[in-house]
Amino acid sequence: MTAPSAARTYSSTPRNLARLARVLRGGGLVAVPTETVYGLAANALNAAACRKIFKAKGRPSNDPLIVHIHSQKQLVAIAEPNDAALKLARHFWPGPLTLVLPRRPIVPSVVSAGLPSVAVRMPRHPLFRRLLRKVDLPLAAPSANPFGYVSPTSAAHVRAGLGRKIAHILDGGSCSIGVESTIVDLRDPRMPRLLRPGAVTRKQLETV
């Protein structure tokens, strides 16, 4: 017999969003909907909170996390964007493009697995954006699945994989895209590197 799931699934009421924002500000984990896949979010400026992500997922600590933001102000607070990065951001954000940029010291090194860079994305999912605005902190969030498993695209899928490891799941319906964000390394603006193919194609990037 399997133990019952510990996770509670929350609908998108203002009261639930306020509660989940408090959980995140207090250093807790919340599984969140994005337009790509569900993420397992924590305050990206809190090392202890981010360590909980690695623990819940069984993710090796050398695998860095993507930080999710809702404003330009947050971007410059955590990273050092160059003109090329700002141009791509203007074109593709909010959306499924992740930019790797020099990291500011305010971001704990556990987030980027000790690298001097940080991966940043502004998601498009309206409910996740509401939560990001309410928390008003950058949120580190890898896909909300146990390490090595397929990325979840619904709240039920998150519950099936992590239901006994986490307490809070925000239900935002099925992910509209269902594949991971495209990752581009833009630390050297003259030499952009495609690190992971994803929802934004190489062709779309090259056009911009």
Instruction: Compute the least distance from the CB of residue 31 to Mg ion, in Å.
Output: 13
Measured CA distances, 191 to 7, 84, 146 (Å): 44, 10, 34
Contacts with 110 (C-beta within 8 Å, 6 or more apart), sequence order: 47, 50, 51, 54, 61
Instruction: Compute the least distance from the CB of residue 4 to ligand AMP, in Å.
Output: 27
Stretch that binds ligand AMP, among 11-19, 80-88, 117-125, 153-161 (CB under 6 A): 117-125
Asked if residue 63 binds ligand AMP (CB under 6 A), the reply is yes
Among 142, 161, 172, 192, binds ligand AMP (CB under 6 A): 142
The residue count for binding ligand AMP (CB under 6 A) is: 16
Asked if residue 50 binds ligand AMP (CB under 6 A), the reply is no
Among 7, 88, 118, 131, binds ligand AMP (CB under 6 A): 118
Burial class (CB in 10 A: 0-12, 13-18, 19+), 141: buried
Residue 185's DSSP bridge partners are: 100, 193
Burial 119-130 (b: 16+ CB within 10 A, else e): bbbbbbbebbbb
Among 115, 150, 160, 208, binds ligand AMP (CB under 6 A): 115
Cα separation, 205 vs 47, whole angstroms: 33
Asked if residue 64 binds ligand AMP (CB under 6 A), the reply is yes
Asked if residue 29 binds ligand AMP (CB under 6 A), the reply is no
Contact positions vs ligand AMP (CB under 6 A):
63-66, 100, 112, 115, 117-119, 142-143, 180, 183, 195-196
